[in-house]
């Protein structure tokens, strides 16, 4: 008996020493690499209060391996046509001159002049134009989408991509490993069987790759021969075809680009393909010389948990700080990081017209519950919150002073700003800003009276949902 007691004591002593070693290692790593104080304190607490399990969770979910991998791949390829951006050409008195300088510093990309932009509403307008360009492609097609369904909307894309591959076009298709179907992707199966090069972004069934499940490529990009580009908020799925009256209809906005900014779109796709597959696509087939096609100045802004971390969030912050008349935001989900919430409130307090246009009911109830918490102080600060009736509006649009726009794939939530790989485009053009403005006359204005009318259980539910903000 005494021998058994001594053995148990030794095992306990060893376990205690190992727990201290693991928790200490986690603490050191957190102190060196975690910038967010709340996240740092949480991880340290989990590591010390949950022996071994806390260390395992941090090893799986707390270490940004994606950033390290991106830096390794970035050294393999020099981006073509990239120059140092500056605010040359803008009047020093222009209130957006500081924004131009800041975005140039953030992205390292120039603002490209001479672009033509077409606004496309829903899949009814976007899909035919996209399929038309795929049918005309002669050199290269790069297509990436967060969701790419094997349904009435996806089938024509499958056929068009397969036909393009057969006629000798270089086709590359990238689908997110979660949004495109984690356990089953009909699109991946159909295209791979037909010989079309297709990849699933950060997808793996193996447990040691599980940290990647929380990191998603939310970008929607189509580039044709390096000359025509599409991007915006539309995934490929039948829910976007309004004419077919789907059960869960989704309204959305996409954009077609011609002109020099398409090179930046192509570059973003090529980098994502390199990240996902290790294949460096040849410049001669993907980056032709591009002539000016219009009058809009534009620039791509990418963001993700790699070398582009928080860029889109920082651009939005700079834009709000430069606003002199108005800020308008259309987003399906509204749970932004605290700095953005504060910036919007401060803008309204200094007399800027701040309009937030959100769906009355989203497609994720928990996000609707959680957004009530940040909306109340914004309304009190003077922001106007408008609720769009069904069908669900999935567009992501921002305008400042009716002359600067920011469109693309990023929602106004922590996931898009801090975790997802996203792609937006900033545009300097008064006509375009007016074109994408969503009229508030058919919206219902949200008031603090309505928020305060919720009974206590509902308010508690909303507050609890807000605590999940980093993971939603």
Active site residue 325: no
Three-state SS string over the chain comes to: CHHHHHHHHHHHHHHHHHHHHHHHHHHHHHHHHCCCHHHHHHHHHHHHHCCCHHHHHHHHHHCCHHHHHHHHHHCCCCCCCCCCCCCCCCCCCCCCHHHHHHHHHHHCCCCEEEEEEEEEEHHHHHHHHHHHHHHHCCCEEEEEECCECCCCCHHHHHHHHHHHHHCCCEEEEEEECCCCCCCCCHHHHHHHHCCCCEEEECCCCCHHHHHHHHCCECCCEEEECCCEEEEECCCECHHHCHHHCCCCCEECEEEEEECCHHHHHHHHHHHHHHHHHCCCCCHHHHCCCCCCCCCEEEEEEEECCCCCCCHHHHHHHHHHHHCCCEEEEECCCEECCHHHHHHHHHHHHCCCEEEEEEECCCCCHHHHHHHHHHHHHHHHHCCEEEEECCCEECCCEEEECCCEEEEECCCEEHHHHHHCEEEEEEEECHHHHHHHCCCCCCCEEECHHHHHCCCHHHHHHHHHHHCCHHHC
Active site residue 394: yes
Q: Which of 150, 225, 267, 368 is catalytic?
A: 225
Active site residue 245: no
Q: Which of 396, 413, 428, 429 is catalytic?
A: 396
Active site residue 401: yes
Q: Which of 158, 218, 254, 428 is catalytic?
A: 218
Q: Which of 34, 158, 203, 220 is catalytic?
A: 220
Active site residue 203: no
Q: Which of 34, 203, 318, 394 is catalytic?
A: 394
Q: Which of 401, 413, 428, 429 is catalytic?
A: 401
Nearest to 315 by CA among 415, 383, 417: 417
Active site residues: 218, 220, 225, 394, 396, 401
């Amino acid at each position: 008996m005494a021998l058994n007691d001594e053995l148990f004591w030794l095992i306990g002593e060893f376990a205690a020493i190992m727990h201290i070693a693991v928790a200490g290692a986690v603490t050191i790593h957190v102190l060196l690499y975690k910038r967010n104080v709340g996240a740092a304190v949480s991880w340290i607490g989990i590591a010390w209060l949950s022996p071994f399990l806390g260390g395992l969770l941090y090893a799986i979910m707390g270490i940004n391996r994606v950033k390290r991998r991106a830096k390794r791949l970035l050294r393999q390829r020099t981006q073509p046509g990239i120059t140092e951006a500056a605010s040359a050409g803008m009047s020093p008195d222009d209130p957006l001159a500081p924004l131009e300088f800041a975005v140039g510093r953030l992205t390292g990309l120039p603002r490209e002049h001479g672009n033509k932009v077409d606004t496309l509403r829903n899949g009814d307008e976007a899909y035919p134009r996209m399929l038309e360009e795929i049918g005309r492609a002669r050199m290269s097609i790069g297509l990436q989408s967060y969701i790419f369904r094997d349904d009435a909307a996806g089938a024509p894309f499958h056929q068009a991509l397969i036909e393009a591959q057969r006629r000798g076009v270089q086709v590359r298709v990238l689908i997110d490993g979660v949004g495109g179907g984690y356990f089953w992707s009909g699109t991946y199966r159909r295209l791979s069987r037909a010989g079309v090069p297709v990849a699933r972004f950060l997808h793996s069934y193996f447990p040691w790759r599980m940290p990647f499940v929380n990191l998603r490529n939310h970008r929607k990009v189509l580039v044709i021969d390096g000359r025509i580009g599409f991007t915006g908020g539309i995934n490929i799925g039948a829910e976007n075809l309004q004419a077919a009256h789907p059960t869960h209809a989704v309204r959305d906005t996409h954009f077609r680009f011609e002109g020099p900014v398409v090179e930046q779109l192509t570059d973003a796709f090529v980098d994502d393909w390199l990240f996902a597959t290790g294949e460096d696509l040849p410049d001669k087939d993907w980056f032709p010389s591009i002539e000016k096609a219009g009058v809009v100045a534009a620039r791509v802004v990418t963001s993700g948990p790699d070398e582009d971390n928080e860029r889109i969030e920082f651009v939005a912050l700079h834009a709000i700080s430069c606003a002199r008349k108005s800020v308008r935001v259309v987003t399906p989900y509204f749970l932004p990081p605290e700095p953005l919430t504060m910036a919007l409130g401060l803008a309204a307090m200094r007399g800027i017209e701040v309009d937030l246009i959100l769906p009355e009911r989203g497609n994720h109830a928990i996000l609707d519950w959680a957004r009530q918490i940040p909306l109340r102080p914004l309304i009190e600060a003077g922001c106007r919150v408008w609720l769009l009736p069904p069908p669900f509006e999935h567009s992501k649009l921002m305008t400042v002073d009716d002359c600067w726009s920011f469109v693309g794939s990023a929602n106004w939530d922590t996931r898009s700003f801090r975790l997802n790989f996203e792609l937006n485009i900033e545009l300097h053009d008064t006509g375009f800003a007016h074109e994408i403005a969503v009229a508030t006359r058919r919206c219902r204005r949200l008031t603090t009276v309505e928020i305060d009318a919720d009974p206590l259980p509902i308010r508690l539910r909303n507050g609890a949902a807000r605590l999940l903000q980093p993971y939603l």
